[in-house]
Structure 1
Amino acid sequence: MCSVFQRDAKGQYLFDLICHHLNLLEKDYFGIRYVDPDKQRHWLEFSKSIAKQMKSQPPFTMCLRVKFYPPDPVSLKEEITRYLVFLQVKRDLYHGRLLCKTSDAALLAAYILQAEIGDYDPGKHPEGYSSKFQFFPKHSEKLERRIAEIHKTELIGQTPETSELNFLQKAQTLETYGVDPHPCKDVSRNPAFLAFTPFGFTVLQGNRRIHFLTWKIILTYFAPTPEACKHLWKCGVENQAFYKLEKSSQVRTVSSSNLFFKGSRFRYSGKVAKEVMEQSAKIKRDPPEIHSAHSTPVHSVSHGDSFMSSRGQMDDGSEASVSAVISDETYSPSDSVLPTPVAEHGMEMPLARHLNGAPCSIDEEKESGSMREGQAESGPSRRALRKVRSKPSPSSDVEELNKFILSVLRLFLVTIGLLFALLLLLIMLTESDLDIAFLRDIRKTPEFQQFHFEYFCPLRQWFACKLRWMGGFLVSK
């Protein structure tokens, strides 16, 4: 989908345009994601200008994504919404975010296969037909045979809608349903992923969920870059507001600043989950028609960053390309994070490494440790992944030095500002005749009176004596 908009158009305009194109009413679960030139992911803020949020030059490339996963996707009011959530979760499975056991993986893949090609037909589906579909980053031939077995024997007669519904029912029971991983390191500098889910805060390490936390527990983790840290913080603010609050009127502006450093201010501007569900219950229209055309292998769906499969022909006859690409360029954000959803024979797969603060999967054939942008999500290889150690470039060293200098200057300026503010307050307390309540209360305290007579007055007399001496010295000259 290509769109031309005014330079001062806000994100809400683009989002409403996409939802209208898709005939989507339960739109509050979705958002628009884009990736800046440094491979850092962002959610488009609807209240701000689109052009001002972009670091790149137009045309801009963005994609529609599920931003807030429904806690119970089966309870969504309209099939079009469930279908879009199904496509997102299927994509999560393909990119290794939806971790699961081999048995669960086989069942989920079989549901996808049934939704894509329908009932098993010996005339159309020769031996090994399931191997043409890429359901996961990597899997074994044994798993492929198990997928085909379930498809042949257990799912006969299921319509695409039923298979998608069963897929969602199974996916929502998994620990990593709704996970959007953020790469980081713990206090011991071990790699990990932090993720917000509809049910809490999750920490992933070694392809396993090691922590499931409530919002009140505090842990220390380090993001790879300041931009990644800010993105993680914003996601946390939005997820907490969406899932925890009763009403959007309870949302408050949150600041990340502290005593010494100027932080960011951010306010979630959408509805909360309870309001979204109440609004969805009031939908009375006839459901929009979705014409099924399941003939495309699953792996072709993930080329570039396409969001929808071939089942995207809407009732108005237009192509419902939910990728929301606002340019003709291929969108390759390098956001394939975990290498596999299946732990075959109890073996753990190594986590993908991070290059320049962005999560990515590194294939064995990439000997240089770098990855071209167009190859970021063209489809993970079946070969085992290995860790690649990248050497810092001189430009990155200069950037780190500049950031350090800026931090020191900021600390110095903040300190000077605090000292000036304290000096101004001291002058107001001791030298001015302002009769303000809070100043009067401070002046009456024993501590202030002792400070005034024992320290301030002698210090003032000393400065006055020095000034008179300097004045006399200058006059004598």
Structure 2
Amino acid sequence: MKMLRFRSSSIKSLSQEIKCTIRLLDDTELPCIIQRDAKGQFLIDFVCNHFSLLEKDYFGIRYVDPEKQRHWLESNKSVVKQMKSQPPYTMCFRVKFYPAEPMKVKEELTRYLLYLQIKRDIFHGRLLCSLSDAASLGAYTLQAELGDYEPDEHPDGYVSEIKLFPKQTQKLERKMAEIHKNELRGQSAAVAEMNLLKKAHTLETYGVDPHPCKDSSGATAFIGFTATGFVVFQGNKRIHLLKWSDVSKLKFSGKTFHVHGLQKEKKIVLTYHTSTPDACKHLWKCGVENQAFYKYAKSSQIKTVSSSNIFFKGRKFRFSGRVAKEVIEASTKIQRTPPEFHRSTLGQSRSYNSLSKQLITNVETAESCLPSPDESEEHSTMDGGELLKINDQLARSEEELKEPHNESGEVAETKCENEEEMSEDCLTISELVYNPSASVLPTPVEDGGIDLFFNSHPVGNQKDDGGSYNELDAPENTLLITEVEELKEVNWVLVRSFELMTSNRHLNILAKSFVKLLVVGLGLMLFAFPLLLVLLESDIDASFLREIRQTPEFEQFHNEYYCPLRQWLTYKIHYILDKLSSS
């Protein structure tokens, strides 16, 4: 493929160029060269121009930082400053916002790219569904990529050579083949893809990018954001669904994520703990972006949101781009000849069993199951085998917990097969548990599962309204390594502090910084104190003051701190005045 050069229009652009590789939804790679000052929007436009894609607001570019934390590329910021790593850069083109109604997507090209994303979600165990739904989804995929069933081309057992699901049983394969053979004849690829999207969008986990976390009791949960609202899954059940209209605020502090909202006309605050502060920040940014995209009618209605309350500085984020309603409205106005594009087939993809076996063999010789910082789940040469291996290990760990006396797991599989015979709707993909592959989570999970991941990034004893979370017991080696790393970090800080204090130049810089901080602090106090008095004591009913007074943080401050303090001061003043008058 020819290397394309993409230059920024900025006057201050630098001559130095940077190589980038963008992995597409069909696992092909798109190379390009950008200037050092290019912003994220340049890369997004570059990929969309490659496809001749107009309905581009549903898509985004994702990357992984050196700490193996996933991020979405921000369009209005420099690519270099966001990557935090050395070039060449590797990024992935993915669906960022799933359309609430795929039928309203105007162009066949856009629907095809959505179809590829859903196929990835199914393969990596992110789309939880019953056996009957899984059979339909698989049959639509066979029809879209193999065409009509033909006895000469599709002998008995042809479905078993194709890997579409993380746990693909013979019963599921038989049902897929039966539907493909008897019910879908005559459907074109475009029609089959549309039918798959129609079926997928009715499932609870449609559009869920699962973020692993712990609740206040320490139980593992997956947080997601959909077109409907904020969702939480535990096991194979959705335990929380807050519609976007009922979510009043999303906040984070350190590793703790808060959701303020209404449930049955009562105010609630849901609190969850992530493994790292960066994971929590990423979770918060995904939440505020999804709420802005799906909730508002116009992008002009969206305000800059803060991660903290009004009295303390926090992270601020401003949504850029069009919202869902604007995208649908713009789609209806598209008038052009549909662009030609090439569909990948199962014969060309990583889904064939022969290719999967080869990949598994290659991966087993590797030292680690996890991708490197530059190798996310989209790596075309490791994706199939590696993710199957990780998902199988996670599934086996679940089976061992359920059947402690069965080392081979045969009893669990037999039990599952019996359940299939009793009721086809009882079986869900991922062994009855929502268990997406470790390396497709927004925060990559170390080999061994979610619990080991949280052990290696301890949350600590954090208290909230719902109770407290105690970190899980980590292996002795892990704790020992953690202590050594902490001692090294403390030693480095002490040495660095001593160097700074013994340098006159650094002392001058430190003094100037302290004076500036003091001046800024006094200025803020002179501004904040009168504003606080106006908020607390005045009857001024300005719109911005009313909005501040209605926030949960202000109400809590007023009721729990300010009112008792005012009563105490009033009592003391009256007491002193009485003493003076009596004397």
TM-score by length of 2: 0.58
Aligned in 2, Cα 1:279/1:398: closer, same or farther, shift over 3 Å?
farther
Which of 336, 340, 358 matches 2:443?
358
Superposition pairs of residues 71-470 of structure 1, within 5 angstroms: 71-214=100-243, 215=247, 216-217=261-262, 218-258=269-309, 262-292=313-343, 294-296=345-347, 299-300=350-351, 345=419, 346=426, 348-349=432-433, 351=435, 358-360=443-445, 362=447, 392=478, 394=480, 396-397=482-483, 421=522
1:381-428 Cα distance to aligned partner (Å, 9 max, x none): xxxxxxx9765265544666769x99xx9xxx9xx97997499759x9
Distance 1:235 1:295, change over 3 A: closer
Amino acid at match of 1:240: Q
Is 203-212 or 61-70 further displaced after alignment? 203-212
- The structure whose Rg is larger is 1
Q: Which sections of structure 2, spanning at least 5 residues, go unmatched? A: 1-29, 248-260, 263-268, 357-375, 396-412, 420-425, 454-472, 498-513, 539-565, 578-583
Distance 2:436 2:334 in 1: 43
Pairwise CA distance, 1:17:
0.6
SS at match of 1:61: strand
Q: Distance in 2 between matches of 1:363 and 1:301?
A: 27
Instruction: Say yes or no: does 1:23 pair with 2:52.
Output: yes
**Structure 2 Cα separation of the partners of residues 128 and 57 of structure 1:** 47
417 and 348 in structure 1: CA distance in 2 versus 1, 3 angstrom threshold: farther
Aligned residues: 389
- The structure where helix makes up a greater share of residues is 2
Superposition RMSD on alpha carbons, in Å? 4.4
Per-residue Cα deviation, 1:420-448 (whole angstroms, up to 9, x for no partner)? 7499759x99xxxxxxx98xx99xx9x79
The letter of the residue matching 2:146 is I
Quick one: percent identity of the two aligned structures?
53
**Deviation, structure 1 residue 33:** 0.6
Deviations 1:166-195 (A, max 9, x none): 101111111111111111010001001000
Aligned partners of 2:161 and 2:352 also within 8 Å: no
Measure how far apart 1:262 and its partner are: 4.4
Relative to structure 2, which stretch is displaced further, 247-256 or 58-67?
Answer: 247-256
Matched, 1:55 2:79: no
Q: Give the C-alpha shift of residue 300 in structure 1.
A: 3.6
C-alpha contact (below 8 Å) 1:180/1:196 kept by paired residues = yes
Structure 1 SS opposite 2:225: strand
Conserved 8 A contact 1:120-1:156: yes
Between the aligned partners of 2:379 and 2:387, the Cα distance in structure 1 is 20
Taking the aligned partners of 2:150 and 2:436, their CA distance within structure 1 comes to 38
Aligned-pair CA distance for 1:358: 3.4
**Cα shift at 1:74:** 1.5
> How far apart are the structure 2 equivalents of 1:28 and 1:153?
37
Give the residue type in structure 1 aligned to 2:308: S
Q: CA deviation at 1:164?
A: 0.5
Paired residues of 1:23 and 1:288 also in contact (CA < 8 A): yes
Change beyond 3 A, Cα 1:158–1:190: same
| Separation in 2, partners of 1:397, 1:153 | 62
Preserved CA contact (<8 Å) 2:63 2:71: yes
Structure 1, residues 291-346: CA drift from partner, whole Å, max 9, x if none? Answer: 44635265449999xxxxxxxxxxxxxxxxxxxx9x99968799999868x98634
Q: 1:286 to 1:331 in 2, by over 3 A?
A: farther
Where relative contact order (Cα < 8 A, 6+ residues apart) is larger, the structure is 1
The residue identity in structure 2 corresponding to 1:392 is T
Distance 1:352 1:248, change over 3 A: closer
Structure 1, gaps ≥5 residues long: 305-324, 370-387, 430-436, 456-477
The amino acid that maps onto 1:129 is Y
The structure where strand makes up a greater share of residues is: 2
Q: Distance in 2 between matches of 1:349 and 1:425?
A: 55
Pair 1:101–1:423, CA change in 2 (3 A): closer
Q: Relative to structure 1, is the Cα distance of residues 351 and 176 closer, same or farther in structure 2, using a 3 angstrom cutoff?
A: closer
Q: Give 1:130's aligned amino acid.
A: V
